[in-house]
Structure 1
Amino acid sequence: MKSGSTLDQGRVRIFVSGALTVILTLLICAAAAEGMLRLKNASMRNYDIEMWRYSRELKFASELAVLGHEHQPNAKATLQSVEIRTNAWGLRGGNVSETPAPGRRRVLMLGSSIALGWGVPEESVVSSRLQAKFEAAGQDVEILNAGIGNYNTERYVERFLHRLTPLKPTDLLVLAFVRDGEPLEQGGGNFLLRNSQLALTAWTVVNRVFGESGEKSLVAHYQRIYAPGSSAVTRMNVEFAKLAAYAREHRIRVTLAMVPDIHNLDHYPLQFVHDIFSKTARDNGFAYVDLLPALNGIASSDIWAMPGDPHPNARGHALMAEAIYPVLASPATRSKEE
């Protein structure tokens, strides 16, 4: 019996030793792979990793569940080789006074990462280009950029109503995108996804392999999101109605500029989404600018921020500003479609 017990203990020790060796080997390999990935991604040419860094370096989890996350105030990071800085309000750019100077128009731009100007230097984003146009025309107007990545209509409207009304804008410019009606989870990811580039890369690969892809899948996805009577459309309309009510009460002019998806600008497949936003603008008394004509026909390679990143580059922002400026500069308050 004693001999058998000793044999069993020996087997257990061998098993435990082998298991520990395997675990240690895997940990060493994972650490080495993590290190090599971080070295490779130091070039800032990996879109997914740069977005991951953005969430780590410039965002924090909001105590308001509806917002999910917000920008850290007075922060700065170089992402995708472009510096992004925030002021005390979490807006992109330098410091601003709490209220506009007497007689000055203050245009507050709401939106997601396109409004933020992801991948584009601060001086080249829509807000800065509009600012330059008003200055060249001798008009006392300031443009503030409240864009935040991974925001939808609900988030940017609620952020304005909860955080930014003290800025007392005279105008709101909503730089809307086709994803803005899509519901978003608060998220935050697990510990590994928040801290490991290797885990993020593996998760991204799995999602791309097993997830839907291609233009047909994209169109089908948005057809589900924007189906008549869908909960997403209902929620979006509720949020825009809130914004319109606040704007009417405070005599704020609202302009909604609709940014197209830039994967296929030759034979654009998502006009039905633009039609929904156009109707929403009319229903709420917003001025409306469809930015598809300004970008129509441009090859993806000429307008993407970088390969693999379907955000408009500096050229795209220049073209969008050209289309938006005449509407903002016009004294008319009726809905207008360019």
Structure 2
Amino acid sequence: MKRLLSGASLVLLGLLLACAALEGLVRVATSSQQNYLVEMWRYATLLKQKSADPAIGHEHIPGASASLQGVEVSINSLGMRGPEPDLTTPGKHKLVVIGDSVAMGWGLPEDETLRAQLARWLGPESEVMTTGVGNMNMTQIVANWLRYADTIRPDTVIVLATARAPLVQDTGQAGWLVRHSQAYALIVSFVEMAMSNAPGQAGLVAAYEKMWADGPGRAALNMALDRLKVDQARHGYRVLVMMVPESHSFQPYQFDFITNIMRAESEKRGWAFLDPLPSLRQEPAESYWVANNDVHPNAKAFKVMTDVLKPYFPRPKE
């Protein structure tokens, strides 16, 4: 029995040492901050916390900061990415961009994000903010915005909708191993992708067709938009909906069904719908990627989106 216990202890010790060595190798191999999956894991670990509202799931940690994908990301005291907003100056126009990691400006320095580019164009008479948080569906996006609505009382809310808006996802707390081990989180991500994704462009189209079909995801998206409509009526702000194109490929573009659905849902609620695809598709989709392996919009893409938004605002004073 003693020999058996001793052998089991040695095996356990060997496994623990092997796991520690694997964790160390993964951390060294990804220290350049170029691995998208690991950087998203670090984002969730360093800048996010569990929200008290189950509909939100996760939110930014006020005052937190970290270097992610080689870019400094700072969260202000309100839990938003970006500088501290001026909410007290009388007569200052207030605009809020709500959405997911695209609205947050994943992979970009702060001054290249949509929020920053729009703020520069509008000038000091306007305050532009974003409540964007990575990995949120429309239910979470709207719920997250509503906790700010009474405090900010904006003139305009810009909804940055993406193809993942109706995604049904677990908003519970990740397990201890996922939260503390890069290696384990990486393995879990690879397994989930292998099980859920069909290969190639055809598989991507099929996955989004299923996601946007009538079902719980679409129903949740519509309920979230209805909640936003109720809040709009309460506070009197304007809503603009901009559809961010699925950017793996523009030629041919096979996701018009998403654009058509969001356009119909927006117009049904009396909201202006903005589609930057006609301007974006003049160049290859990959020219707008933030990195070779990351299709999040880069500064050039946000410049195009800013130009699409400009006609909806008075021309800034020179």
User: What TM-score bracket applies, with the shorter chain setting the length?
Assistant: over 0.9
Q: Choose from 52, 55, 62 the match for 2:41.
A: 52
- Separation in structure 1 between the aligned mates of residue 82 and residue 71 of structure 2, nearest angstrom: 13
Matched, 1:24 2:10: no
After superposition, residues 269-284 of structure 1 pair within 5 angstroms as 269-284=254-269
Matched, 1:173 2:158: yes
Matched, 1:140 2:134: no
1:39 is matched with which residue?
Answer: 28
2:167 is matched with which residue?
Answer: 182
Could you tell me whether the CA contact under 8 Å between 1:100 and 1:168 is conserved in 2?
Answer: no
1:281 CA drift (Å): 1.0
Letter in 2 for 1:13: K
Letter in 2 for 1:223: E
- Separation in structure 2 between the aligned mates of residue 110 and residue 100 of structure 1, nearest angstrom: 21
Aligned length: 314
1:218 is matched with which residue?
Answer: 204
Superimposed CA distance per residue, residues 174-229 of structure 1 (whole angstroms, 9 cap, x where no aligned partner)? 1111111212211332111111111112222323334323222222222222224x
1:47 CA drift (Å): 0.4
After superposition, residues 29-178 of structure 1 pair within 5 angstroms as 29-97=18-86, 99-135=87-123, 140-178=125-163
Q: Which moves more between the two structures, 56-65 or 139-148?
A: 139-148
After superposition, residues 278-293 of structure 1 pair within 5 angstroms as 278-293=263-278
1:333 is matched with which residue?
Answer: none
Q: Unaligned 5+ residue runs, structure 1?
A: 1-11, 331-338
What SS class does the counterpart of residue 81 from structure 2 fall into? coil
2:248 is matched with which residue?
Answer: 263
1:142 CA drift (Å): 1.7
1:140 CA drift (Å): 2.0
- What fraction of aligned residue pairs are identical, expressed as a percent? 32
- RMSD across aligned positions (CA): 1.7
Q: TM-score, normalised by structure 1?
A: 0.88
1:100 CA drift (Å): 4.8
Q: TM-score, normalised by structure 2?
A: 0.93
Q: Unaligned 5+ residue runs, structure 2?
A: none
1:305 is matched with which residue?
Answer: 290
Larger Rg: 1 or 2?
Answer: 1
Residues 260 and 66 from structure 1, CA distance in 2 versus in 1: closer, same or farther, beyond 3 angstroms? same
- Separation in structure 1 between the aligned mates of residue 34 and residue 2 of structure 2, nearest angstrom: 47
Could you tell me whether the CA contact under 8 Å between 1:177 and 1:261 is conserved in 2?
Answer: yes
Could you tell me whether the CA contact under 8 Å between 2:249 and 2:286 is conserved in 1?
Answer: no
